[in-house]
């Protein structure tokens, strides 16, 4: 018996039928981790603690929602007593004294956190190449990037090492790697999941979410991740529905918004074909395609690259060598302590963002850049509000193409920033959005993005699940198609 490529639902069944023990599962996971070391997907492992928990569960079976499910956690979530680096040298030695609410919620639901996954430094990137701990390899091909910033999480799910992982998404970091690795990932509504204990990149955009093999599993995990949290002032105090409840609802008569302003002409024909074929699948399921317009959509990427660096320059000022993590050796004075610690501790991309952010926030430029960006952000949000008076969900490709070769976009930051062309607007508008596998070009997977209205994760999950009921793209693995 193996858990490789199995869904959470299947693994839970295997455990309850006693076809496999919790200890056997954990042993299999760590065996697979060592056999897949070349993926470089984990930064820190949690083996001893995982075995201890599995032994406990074997002796005290529990029917909690995620009982015994091995889970990989993005190394951006603080984990009590377990090193948390955020992919950065500056936090190389940081051992948090507490766990993020997300981690607590998942572990209280019974999951076993097997380790911390590699990621772009401070979640800034789209290829996992900015990590201090080196590239992650996409399990679909030797020289391919897994996407970023949640590249390690996407890779370990895609490789079948664990059925699920946590990710975070500021501009696309759950959806883009999900697309490039052929898995399903959901960024919930801003505020749905507590940010407490998540290392901040851009606080008004950051949101955690599940990465798994199917929409059904994402719904199950989302139920456990969400909670109103007084420790996060942006945590929403809203009813949390059972996200599994509407998965099987008929799509007859439901409306899918097709964005007329989206310029697909720069995409490969094959990418457009994959997208159009999935839309056809939805119309066969009874859904209707409705043209909508998002007139300010083309301003999303430039708007994001003012707001996100501005917020990061402020958030990252706390890493000064005094309070957290690494400190440079033998500084002569306080000034040198700050300068050396930050110069040695941060990588180039992080430094670039801090510089841009400090610039757009500085007196004299604030109105021209930061304030303007905030105004445009509101226009983008208004466009979505308008569109959602006419449709239930909006669909776009998740990415402009399939996984690219390592090093191929490194020299041009703009090319890398355009990786999130289709995903960034949902973060700016605070809306939930998901990526699910919808095709394969030259044995490289591709994803479809479904964007939902504010707090309406249920509709996205419903569309995604109904699609996965009649297609098998989510069953494709680097080893072939699963039955």
Residues in contact with ligand GLN by CB under 6 A are 123-126, 149, 169-173, 201, 308, 420
Determine whether 260 is an active site residue.
no
Closer by beta carbon to ligand GLN, 185 or else 257: 185
Min dist CB 205 to ligand GLN, Å, is 8
Cα gap 135→189, rounded to integer Å: 29
Min dist CB 168 to ligand GLN, Å, is 6
Closer by beta carbon to ligand GLN, 305 or else 454: 305
Q: Are 460 and 434 in contact (CB under 8 A)?
A: yes
Min dist CB 399 to ligand GLN, Å, is 11
Determine whether 381 is an active site residue.
no
Closer by beta carbon to ligand GLN, 104 or else 187: 187
| Length reported for the chain | 483
Question: Closest by alpha carbon to 110, among 78, 62, 73?
Answer: 62
Q: Are 70 and 29 in contact (CB under 8 A)?
A: yes
Biggest CA-to-CA distance, the chain: 70
**Cα–Cα distances in Å, from 328 out to 89, 281, 322?**
11, 57, 10
Question: Closest by alpha carbon to 13, among 196, 263, 220?
Answer: 220
294: phi then psi, degrees, rounded to nearest 5: -125, 80
Min dist CB 211 to ligand GLN, Å, is 13
Cα gap 425→299, rounded to integer Å: 9
CA 475 to chain CA mean position, Å: 20
Q: Which residues pair with 421 in a beta bridge?
A: none
Min dist CB 200 to ligand GLN, Å, is 11
* DSSP sequence for 110-128: T-EEEEEE--SGGG--SSS
Q: Are 279 and 256 in contact (CB under 8 A)?
A: yes
Determine whether 173 is an active site residue.
yes
Closer by beta carbon to ligand GLN, 123 or else 193: 123
Determine which helix (DSSP H) or strand (DSSP E) holds 302, and give its type and residue range: helix 300-315
User: How crowded is residue 165: how many other Cβ atoms within 10 Å of its Cβ?
Assistant: 31
Write down the catalytic residue from 6, 53, 74, 104: 74
Write down the catalytic residue from 7, 126, 127, 149: 149
Min dist CB 179 to ligand GLN, Å, is 13
Residue 103's Cβ-count burial label (10 Å; 0-12, 13-18, 19+) is buried
Write down the catalytic residue from 153, 173, 194, 235: 173
Catalytic residue IDs: 74, 149, 173
């Amino acid at each position: 018996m193996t858990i490789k490529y199995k869904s959470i639902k299947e693994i839970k069944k295997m455990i309850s039928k006693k076809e496999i023990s919790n200890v056997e599962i954990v042993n299999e996971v760590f065996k697979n981790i060592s056999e897949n070391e070349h993926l470089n997907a984990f930064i820190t492992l949690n083996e001893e603690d995982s075995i201890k928990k599995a032994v406990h569960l074997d002796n005290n079976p529990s029917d909690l929602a995620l009982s015994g499910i091995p889970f990989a956690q993005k190394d951006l979530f603080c984990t009590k007593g377990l090193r948390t680096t955020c992919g950065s040298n500056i936090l190389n030695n940081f051992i948090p004294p507490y766990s993020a609410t997300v981690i607590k919620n998942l572990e209280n639901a019974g999951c076993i956190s097997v380790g911390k996954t590699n990621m772009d430094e401070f979640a800034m990137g789209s290829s996992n190449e900015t990590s201090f701990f080196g590239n992650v390899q996409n399990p679909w091909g030797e020289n391919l990037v897994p996407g970023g910033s949640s590249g390690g999480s996407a890779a370990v799910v895609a490789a079948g090492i664990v059925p699920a992982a946590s990710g975070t998404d500021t501009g696309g970091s759950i959806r883009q790697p999900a697309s490039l690795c052929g898995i399903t990932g959901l960024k919930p509504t801003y505020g749905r999941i507590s940010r407490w204990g998540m290392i901040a990149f851009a606080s008004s955009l950051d949101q955690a979410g599940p990465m798994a093999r199917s929409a059904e599993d994402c719904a199950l995990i989302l139920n456990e991740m969400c909670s109103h949290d007084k420790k996060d002032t942006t945590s929403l105090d809203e009813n949390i529905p059972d996200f599994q409840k509407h998965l099987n609802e008929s799509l007859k008569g439901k409306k899918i918004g097709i964005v007329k302003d989206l310029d697909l002409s720069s995409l490969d024909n094959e990418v457009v074909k994959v997208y159009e074929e999935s839309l056809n699948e939805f119309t066969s399921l009874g859904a209707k395609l409705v043209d909508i317009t998002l007139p300010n959509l083309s301003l999303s990427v430039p708007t994001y690259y003012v707001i996100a660096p501005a917020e990061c320059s402020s958030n990252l000022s706390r890493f000064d060598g005094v309070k957290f993590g690494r400190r440079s050796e033998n500084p002569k004075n306080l000034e040198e302590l700050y300068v050396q610690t930050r110069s040695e501790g941060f990588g180039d991309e992080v430094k670039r963002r801090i510089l841009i952010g400090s610039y757009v926030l500085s007196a004299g430029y604030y109105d021209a850049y930061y304030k303007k960006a905030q105004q445009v952000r509101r226009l983008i949000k208004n466009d979505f509000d308008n569109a959602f008076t006419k449709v239930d969900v909006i669909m776009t490709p998740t990415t402009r193409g399939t996984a690219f070769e390592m090093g191929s976009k490194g020299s041009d930051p703009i090319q890398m920033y355009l990786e999130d062309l289709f995903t960034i607007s949902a973060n700016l508008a605070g809306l939930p959005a998901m990526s699910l596998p919808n095709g394969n070009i030259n044995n490289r997977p591709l994803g479809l993005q479904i964007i939902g209205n504010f707090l309406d994760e249920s509709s996205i999950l419903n569309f995604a699940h109904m699609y996965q009921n009649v297609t098998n793209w989510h069953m494709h693995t680097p080893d072939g198609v699963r039955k």
